[in-house]
Structure 1
């Protein structure tokens, strides 16, 4: 299978080189034939200069699109260039490359269409802040209410899609804070979602776009986004199964 690892990057000059080199080294060691695509989301630091030296594929976006727009560009690239699997990994070092096999194996064995790396199945590794954990529990309840599926770590950006899922996200993918919203999208399209336990670590550089002062805004905005996707897709006759 053709595998593409997509890394969104906005001002990650402190970590992006080590992230890409570690992924390249680890995929070779684990026996996965994978390409790496970095999507530079109009960084204002030296990220793009560093990316050009890494020997990986890259997209240099002319305007800042946010995480959702950057990943949408990456998924479009994956689908249009014939990749069978696309994996999202953050550019800040939170997603260890040695956990890749856990994410990829269920797709390669055709046991799932979407695989999400979860911090909360075993409770080990970096768990994020209390405020963020409370928000994640709220989204778990909301997803359960809307599509009848429990996803413990719906904000996790460590996830992988097969070709069937790429055909969905190539057409539309939520913008700005896409991970929780996409869960409802996948559920209504009847895609098989699976969570696997992974160990994550603290970011190795850069600054998160979500902090305590923005938590209420984030939850309100994402809740509206989730409801918008739910109503739009239900209006097309889609229903979670």
Structure 2
């Protein structure tokens, strides 16, 4: 799939406003979904800035995305943590007020971006998570993963203060300036969503959630399905305990 086949619609021009918002979209082999996602973001009419971080894809992810958005193409696969921190560092250097992470596989509805921003305006916290498990609407993952997520929830809420969490593995989250600066310096490479929450709360940063409706993956498969889910959850719990024992720098 070449770029001439995919460059049909340009991204909406960023609108002027009181806050500058960057949408970070980490991608690995998401050529089938990222173009549609970027079109959905443009269709909101909000004029969000976007940055697609192509995490060493072997397909045409960069070619498809570059028709509609700036792309940071990593020379090798760093994993979700490295890809997201690339976007966070960009947000810090470009002086964005907020960055919002959404997945490139189509699970996150771009219309919910405004839900996160509105929640921040009404009751600011440093991190605002889009949670599947407040209203239990839409796709809520597999039964095995939900059981593991509940264990992570118990660990985070029991060991740290700063917010009550229901969906620590959600890949849809808003970061304000304080968290952008914090994570630009260091960000977990393994299990970044729940571990980054542990790091942030350990450092005294605050977390809140708003209900969002998520969709099933449009393409591809999760890297932690099946028996990998159990191993994932055990290792995450170990990292959370370690984060609690290590004093924040």
Tell me if TM exceeds 0.5: yes
Matched, 1:150 2:169: no
CA distance in 1 between partners of 2:90 and 2:248 (Å): 29
Aligned residues: 230
CA distance in 2 between partners of 1:95 and 1:235 (Å): 32
Partner of 1:16: 34
Q: Which runs of 5+ in 2 are unaligned?
A: 1-18
Query: Cα distance 1:106–1:235, how it changes in 2: closer, same or farther (>3 A)?
Result: closer
Local SS of the residue matching 2:227? helix
Which of 121, 146, 151 does residue 133 from structure 1 map onto? Answer: 146
CA distance in 1 between partners of 2:238 and 2:52 (Å): 29
Matched, 1:94 2:112: no
Q: TM-score, normalised by structure 1?
A: 0.91
Q: TM-score, normalised by structure 2?
A: 0.88
CA contact (8 A) 1:24 1:36 kept: no
CA contact (8 A) 2:27 2:55 kept: yes
- Consecutive aligned runs of 4 or more in structure 1 exceeding 3 Å deviation: none
> Cα RMSD over matched residues?
1.4
- Following superposition, the deviation at residue 183 of structure 1 comes to 1.4
- Of 69-78 and 177-186, more deviation after overlay is shown by 177-186
Local SS of the residue matching 1:5? strand
CA contact (8 A) 1:2 1:33 kept: no
Which of 127, 137, 145 does residue 124 from structure 1 map onto? Answer: 137
CA distance in 2 between partners of 1:114 and 1:88 (Å): 11
CA distance in 1 between partners of 2:242 and 2:108 (Å): 29
- Of 221-230 and 14-23, more deviation after overlay is shown by 221-230
